[in-house]
Each structure stands twice: as C-alpha cells, then as structure tokens.
Amino acid sequence: MIDLARIYMEMALRLAEEAASAGETPIGAVIVRDGDLLGKGRNRTIALQDPTAHAEMEAIGAAANALGERYLTDATMYVTLEPCPMCAGALVLARIGRLVYAARDPKAGAIESLYRLHDDPRLNHRFPVSGGLLEEQSAALLAEFFREKRERKKLKRNGHAD
C-alpha cells in the first residue's frame, strides 16, 4: 500500500534540502487536498531579506492562490519542522484542516514544544496534528546544516576563507 503521508513529507524534505543548498535554514512544506498538491514552499528569509519568508508561509500563500480562496479547509500541511508562532498563527488564520510535521522545535515550536496554538480554545479554529513523520531525516538535515554553519563561522574567525 502506498503511504501518501510519507511521500508528501519526502517532498517537503526535498524542498528543505533545496533551502539548505541555497544557504537557508532547511525547512520545506507542502499542502495537499484530495491528493492534489496545492502549494509548496521552502525557507527564503535570506534570499528575500524577509523574516516572514518561511516555508509554511510560502506554501500557505501558494495554496490559497491555487484555490482562489483564503481558507484551506480539508487541506493538510506537511512540514519538516514544527511551526513557529508566526506560522502556527497563519495556519489558524488559513483554517488548515490538518498539520503533519517531522521534527520538534524545542526553541520555537508553537504546536507542541513551547505553545499549543493549534488547539487553543481561545482561538476561532483548531486542527489535528501529527508529529514525528520522518523526524530522524529532518533532524539530521537540520543538525548537519547548523554544524556546517558553525564550522564556517569558526574558519572565518580564524582567518580562513570560505
């Protein structure tokens, strides 16, 4: 049997790898509904010099444009890292149907790690969440990216060129 959730998360991981290749934090996201890819995104905060250019925000915008509407009811987002407060808030505003994420984010996660925006009864929309799908692959990609970034910084500090 085909595991569509795994396929969609693998798509998000490929987008995260593209982000890493461009020097961006390796996070990727896709949004699907009824088997149709509605939107995808990867981090572009450096390329666009825009602190809001997160993978989730790009995917939400693309999906809303594809549908011609602002609500993503019955759609599922697959993202490689637990969303931050901004992105979790955007998912609430977009009325996403479901969220699946790979790795937890203990420093900025607003779904389960630090906050639980997806099920806060004070907000006007709540959605189910599944975490941990391809967590090891996503966490390894992030760890390698930040390890290399620290090494480059150390080399520069010691007078070595990139």
CA 94 vs CA 3, 5, 154: distances in Å: 26, 21, 41
Amino acid at 6: R
**Phi and psi at residue 83, to the nearest 5°:** -60, 150
CA pair distance 153, 110, nearest whole angstrom? 29
What is the CA angle 150-152-156, rounded to 5?
115
- Tally of helices (H runs) and strands (E runs) in the chain: 4, 5
Query: Can 56 be counted among the known catalytic residues?
Result: yes
Measured CA distances, 87 to 7, 160, 161 (Å): 22, 37, 36
The helix or strand, by DSSP H or E, that contains position 80, with its residue range, turns out to be strand 76-81
Task: Out of 56, 58, 82, 136, pick the active-site residue.
Answer: 56
Tokens of 9: 């998360």
Catalytically active residues are 56
